[in-house]
């Protein structure tokens, strides 16, 4: 027995240390302000959907905050990038439009969607789909989702919103704590600070090249310092904090409606009807979007943004599946990853898992300390500011499609995007994109000229 201990310790300790070191590296901040700013990049999608379901369907906001906060922290530690945790949009859309689709149906659809994704991940079918689906079709789905976010964001900015009913009302007033002028100023502020999403350190490199020509000029040096300070501001975080302040100013008495303590976490009771309706109305339309945008598109975008990292559709599919198989039984909103959330967090400076870990920690604190009473405050949060955050997330996602260099791939991508947007279905856009891609490949293989040659050759042989 004594001789076996020296043999086991060297084999287990390095593995343990390697895992701990990997998690530590994944959560390590590249820049504290940038990571904090990046954490705000996904809120333009998260808050409107979760708040709408809380107000219209009595979704347990406290439970959702706790579970999604845990998911955020876990995915940040696993992947080492700002991997988003977003509500499943198709299920949310069905719930907001169908009065009979209640909490049991919402949770049943999330659990069943998660189960299917888990099976696809473990069996390797998701990896097969990733290899077979052409890049131009994936880009078409990304472009459609990005433009959809941007169009929704413009609607949030221009129109007064009834979030519980998911409807636009009258035109937004120009002035006020949720006025059009406020949203426009926020857009200008983000553009000035973040620009069009230039590469990191691009400004610093330019300054180094010009260093000799401006040496000794104190005025220009102070101008450079001012620019550097402005360009490093956490724009999304500042805009979000502004929204929080304005929310309290709009209705100061909201502080009395907020109660301390977590919401009661209870098991959801399911009926056979809830499972049936959840699968038919929720799971079936959600699956194509989850497979394409939450797994395949996220894996592709992650590889584009972080080429040194190793991503797997199998891992992403399994994590989405496990998230929903865990939280759905307790009333937490069905969740997935999303290319739009990743693009938004990257746009505002998120570069590590620490970005979403910050967001996860904030959700956990709010969930345990304030619970569902937090919904009273978020009703006062300026929707126009949420629109600003969502706008830049959508644009960043759409810009991932700029690598389509040849006309054939661009044609398939744009067709896929058009069908997805007009038909309001990523599945329909995907189907049309795959069919057209196949037809174009078939056309290239069997051109009209080659058919004529074959025909003439066969005719000569018969003569």
Torsion angle (degrees, nearest 10) of CA 391, 396, 400, 401: 30
Q: Domain ranges for the chain, please list them.
A: 26-179+235-406
d(CA 374, CA 376): 5
What phi and psi values does residue 409 have, to the nearest 5 degrees? -65, -40
Residue 116: how many other CB atoms lie within 10 Å:
18
Burial class of residue 185 in the structure, from the number of CB atoms within 10 Å of its CB (0-12 exposed, 13-18 middle, 19+ buried): middle
SS3 320: helix
Token digits of residue 347: 């746009």
Kindly report the pTM of this predicted structure. 0.77
Q: With a cut of 50, say whether residue 456 has pLDDT above it.
A: no
Q: Is the pLDDT of residue 167 over 70?
A: yes
pLDDT, tens digit, for every residue of 346-360? 888 888 888 899 999
Rg (CA), the chain: 25
What's the pLDDT tens digit per position in 62-87?
Answer: 999 999 999 999 999 989 899 989 88
User: Who has greater pLDDT, 113 or 347?
Assistant: 113
Q: Provide the token pair at 429.
A: 């856009």
**pLDDT attached to residue 332:** 93
At residue 269, φ and ψ (nearest 5 deg) are -95, 125
Higher-scoring residue by pLDDT: 181, 16: 181
- In angstroms, the Cα distances linking 326 to 71, 107, 245, 371 are 10, 11, 35, 19
């Amino acid at each position: 027995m004594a001789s076996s201990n020296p043999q086991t310790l060297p084999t287990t300790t390095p593995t343990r240390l390697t895992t701990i070191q990997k998690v530590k590296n994944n959560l390590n901040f590249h820049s504290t302000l940038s990571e904090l700013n990046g954490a705000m990049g996904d809120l333009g999608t998260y808050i409107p959907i979760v708040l709408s379901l809380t107000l219209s369907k009595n979704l347990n906001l406290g439970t959702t905050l706790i579970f999604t906060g845990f998911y955020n922290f876990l995915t940040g530690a696993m992947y080492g990038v700002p991997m988003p945790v977003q509500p499943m949009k198709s299920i949310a859309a069905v719930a907001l439009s169908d009065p009979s689709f209640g909490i049991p149906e919402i949770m049943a659809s999330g659990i069943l969607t998660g189960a299917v994704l888990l099976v696809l991940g473990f069996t390797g079918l998701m990896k097969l789909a990733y290899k077979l689906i052409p890049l131009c079709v994936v880009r078409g789905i990304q472009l459609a989702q990005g433009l959809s976010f941007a169009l929704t964001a413009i609607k949030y900015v221009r129109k007064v919103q009834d979030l519980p009913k998911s409807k636009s009302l009258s035109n937004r007033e120009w002035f006020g704590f949720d006025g059009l002028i406020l949203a426009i100023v926020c857009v200008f502020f983000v553009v000035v600070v973040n620009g069009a999403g230039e590469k990191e350190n691009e400004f610093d490199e330019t300054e180094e090249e010009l260093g000799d020509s401006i040496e000794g000029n104190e005025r220009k040096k102070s101008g450079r310092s001012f620019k550097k300070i402005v360009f490093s501001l956490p724009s999304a975080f500042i805009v979000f904090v502004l929204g929080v302040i304005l929310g309290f100013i709009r209705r100061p008495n909201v502080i009395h409606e907020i109660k301390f303590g977590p919401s009661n976490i209870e098991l959801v009771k399911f009926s056979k009807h809830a499972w049936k309706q959840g699968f038919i109305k929720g799971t079936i339309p959600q699956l194509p979007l989850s497979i394409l945008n939450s797994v395949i598109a996220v894996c592709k975008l992650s590889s584009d943004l972080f080429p040194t990292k190793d991503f797997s559709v199998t891992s992403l599919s399994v994590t989405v599946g496990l998230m929903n198989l865990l939280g759905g039984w307790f009333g937490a909103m069905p969740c997935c990853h999303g290319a739009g959330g990743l693009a938004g967090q990257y746009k505002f400076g998120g570069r590590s898992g620490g970005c979403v870990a910050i967001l996860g920690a904030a959700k956990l604190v709010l969930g345990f300390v304030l619970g569902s009473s937090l919904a009273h405050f978020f009703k006062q949060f300026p929707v126009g500011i949420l629109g600003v955050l969502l706008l830049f997330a959508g644009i960043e996602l759409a810009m991932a499609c700029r690598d389509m260099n040849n006309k054939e791939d661009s044609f398939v991508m744009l067709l896929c995007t058009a069908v997805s947007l007009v038909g309001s279905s990523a599945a329909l856009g995907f189907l049309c994109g795959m069919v057209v891609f196949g037809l174009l490949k078939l056309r290239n293989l069997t051109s009209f000229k080659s058919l004529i040659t074959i025909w003439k050759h066969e005719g000569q042989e018969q003569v």
